[in-house]
Amino acid sequence: MKVDVVLGLQWGDEGKGKIVDVLANNYPVVARFQGGPNAGHSLHFGEMSFVLHSVPSGVFRKDAINIIGNGVVLDPIIFREECEKLEAIGVPVRERVVIAKKAHLILPTHRILDAASEAAKGKSKIGSTLKGIGPTYMDKTGRNGLRVGDTLSDNFVERYQTLKNKHIGLLKQYDFEYDPDQNEKEWMDAIEYMKSFNLVDGEYFANKKLKEGSRILAEGAQGSMLDVDFGSYPFVTSSSTTCSGACIGLGVAPCTIDKVYGIFKAYCTRVGSGPFPTELFDEDGEKLRQLGHEFGATTGRPRRTGWLDLVALKYAVMLNGVTSLIMMKSDILDSFDTIKVATGYMVNGQECDTVPYDTYAEVTPIYKEFKGWNKDLSKAKDERELPFEFMNYVRFIEKEVGVPVSIISLGPDRDQTIVRE
């Protein structure tokens, strides 16, 4: 069988959790392949809401196995807290979640390093979630990291202490107060909890499932415009958030990738620093923030808001080989009389339709305006109920990007979703 990939096409926070939950009913296996607890995938079922940071969003589907892949970095403390909340509402996480032994561990000192590094940047802050993600990936690529499977070895505590001491040495370059033993006991207790799960050789586990005929849904975190290689560097995350990251983060071959679902909001948001060409600083921007509840699921920070950016969207579609678009939060635009879409840029006085290399370039969006639909979309159950002005907006996006919009989300609940034929 094949691997289908769901990923964000903007700067994260596109609504991946809801869509993975909706799609997971068709997949016996759901897998996270990169990122860590900087993810905040929000799910809503009637009166219940839940935010997942490390556990794949298929965990609420009783027949789905959920893999935390080797490309993920895992904080045992956050993982335990998340799982205990799930267990408290009756979700048997130990039956539904397996963890790749090659996934790297976030140590308490990784979080301290993250905070110290961000504080030292002053006005040049990247906007880190301070979860220790970056320092953990640095240890991974520097071949110093600790992995989930290492917790099973007799000398694990010794290896932990060695890495901790390395971090303490690095912290000497910062003017930053900290407690080197902060959260250490809680972390070690959480390690024991994590060891009660099925720890697997993730690459063999995933490929065995494929050979047995199971289709896998690979769940991305963050967004394509935050990819470490192709995002707005250095204002990016520390992992490969594009489709190719699914192969690296799960140990599956490129030829196994089939469908690629690209998720985008009907407008744009971004958390943290970095370029955002269509950012709004007026009443429309604040209206988007309030109506869309645009505050970070992980950090609680207000998100920056702006109109849809087709230059960035087409770039992300190209990078990922997207086969189907999924448009989120369409209902947030219901009360706008005029809706704008960026179709090009003026970059340093020159018109262009590509994302510039220079992160610090002076970029002014070129807009096309659309008449708003001024109708509540949230109760629509069928495409035929959607107003002409809205469908005109959708068809324009499809034409410009060259990929069909196969799913339209009209609210946070599972049921507020229209799947187009």
* Rounded Cα–Cα distance for residues 397 and 312 (Å): 12
Q: Which residue shows structure tokens 């192709």?
A: 230
Alpha helices in 31-155 (DSSP H): 76-88, 93-96, 108-120, 133-141
Q: 110 and 210 in contact (C-beta within 8 Å)?
A: no
* Rounded Cα–Cα distance for residues 11 and 20 (Å): 18
Please tell me which residue in 4, 21, 41, 110 is annotated as part of the active site: 41
| Structural Rg of the chain based on CA atoms | 21
CB atoms closer than 10 angstroms to residue 99 = 25
In the three-class reduction of DSSP (H, G, I as helix; E, B as strand; rest coil), residue 71 is classed as coil
Query: Is 258 a residue of the active site?
Result: no
Q: 39 and 52 in contact (C-beta within 8 Å)?
A: yes
Q: 266 and 305 in contact (C-beta within 8 Å)?
A: no
Tokens matching residue 68: 């935390």
* Rounded Cα–Cα distance for residues 213 and 128 (Å): 40
Burial class (CB in 10 A: 0-12, 13-18, 19+), 262: buried
- DSSP letter at 299? T
CB atoms closer than 10 angstroms to residue 207 = 17
Q: Among 238, 214, 228, which Cα is nearest to 139's?
A: 238
Query: Dihedral of the CA atoms 88, 92, 96, 100 (nearest 10)?
Result: 60
Query: Is 331 a residue of the active site?
Result: no
Tokens matching residue 387: 């107003």
Tell me whether the omega of the peptide bond preceding residue 234 falls within 30 degrees of 0, making it cis.
Answer: yes
Q: 250 and 33 in contact (C-beta within 8 Å)?
A: yes
Tokens matching residue 182: 């902060």
Residues known to be catalytic: 13, 41
